[in-house]
Amino acid sequence: MNNKKSLVNIMAIISVSSLIYFMQLNASTLPYIAKSFPQYDMTAIKMFSTLPYFMLIICPLIEWKLLQHFTMKEIVLFSCVVMVITGTALYGCSGLPEMLILRIIYGTGYGLVFPLASALVQHMFEGKQRDKMMGIRTAFGALCGSGMALVGGWLTSIHWRRTFLGYLLIIPVFILVYFFCPSNEPMPARKKKNERIFTRKTWLLLPFAFILNICIISFSVELSLVLVGEGLGDAQEVSRVFAVNTIFAFGAGIIFGFVKQKLGKCVLLAATGLIGTGLLLGAVS
């Protein structure tokens, strides 16, 4: 793969990472949705946040098959269309069941684009430049995530339905990817029918990844409910907490290339330790 790409090409590739942080728009809305639909129990309300994550489990399992027929760019563009339509359509929903259906469809786009944010960088760059661009991708996505949380909190303070208009910000990403993101050929099908998709190491990592993500998702879902429910803050305060939580990933992304060179394979262990420490401190505070 040719590493010589213009600045606008790089911007288009990196912009895909912003799509996975649009979930931050609704970081502070959950308590207000609960107040608007008191006839539903909290389990049903929480599904508004958890259903897209559930689709994040389902969609990557079928994406490898889609990549044999479509390019990464085409799947990203399709995901953009799904996310912007279903995200903004929530503004006009009058009932929770309709909102949950739209969240499932939104989760389809979210689940498809999530692995491609990294895969595009890995496919388009090589060697040390790949590590550098992976760090920049993380930093840019984290910066967008902090911005999304703050925008979502501001819109929620006006009315919680206004946050869904924030999904219109996906349109500039769509335009940038459509015109400037390099494309690739569809992935070739596996030649050997008995070729394994998952290695032994993959199976060993799956339970670890499952538990880690359960903890992270639970933290994201419960935080706004606790802060608002306990009277510790309003929508804007919740958004600031999420923004601070995300902005540290910006610094981590900037130094990722350097840290990876120093720690090698241990970088995953170090990152997991920091996440676990943060979650533990949050739980006991």
pLDDT in tens, 5-62: 788 888 899 999 899 888 888 878 888 888 899 999 888 888 898 889 888 888 888 8
Report which of residues 230 and 77 the model is more confident about.
77
Which residues, in sequence order, are CB contacts of 269 under 8 Å at separation 6+?
none
Phi, psi of 159 (to 5 degrees): -165, 140
- Give Rg (Cα) of the chain: 19
Q: Which one of 140-144, 216-220, 261-265, 270-274 scores highest in mean pLDDT?
A: 140-144
Residue 61 is encoded by which pair of tokens? Answer: 């399992």
Q: Torsion angle, CA of 206/212/218/221, rounded to 10 degrees?
A: -90
Report yes or no: 51 and 104 within 8 Å, Cβ to Cβ.
yes
The rounded percent of the chain whose pLDDT value lies above 70 is 69
Which residues, in sequence order, are CB contacts of 192 under 8 Å at separation 6+?
none
**First-to-last CA distance in the chain?**
48
Mean pLDDT of the chain: 80
Report yes or no: 19 and 176 within 8 Å, Cβ to Cβ.
no
What is the total residue count of the chain? Answer: 285
Tell me which residue of 223, 262, 273, 263 sits closest to 246, measured CA to CA. Answer: 223
Which residues, in sequence order, are CB contacts of 11 under 8 Å at separation 6+?
176, 180
Report yes or no: 53 and 218 within 8 Å, Cβ to Cβ.
no
Kindly report, residue by residue over 264-277, the tens digit of the pLDDT.
Answer: 667 667 777 776 67
Q: Assess whether pLDDT exceeds 90 at residue 281.
A: no
Which residues, in sequence order, are CB contacts of 257 under 8 Å at separation 6+?
128, 131, 132, 134, 135
Q: Which one of 132-136, 232-236, 255-259 scores highest in mean pLDDT?
A: 132-136
The single residue listed with the structure tokens 């979210």 is 110
For residue 5, what is the DSSP state? -
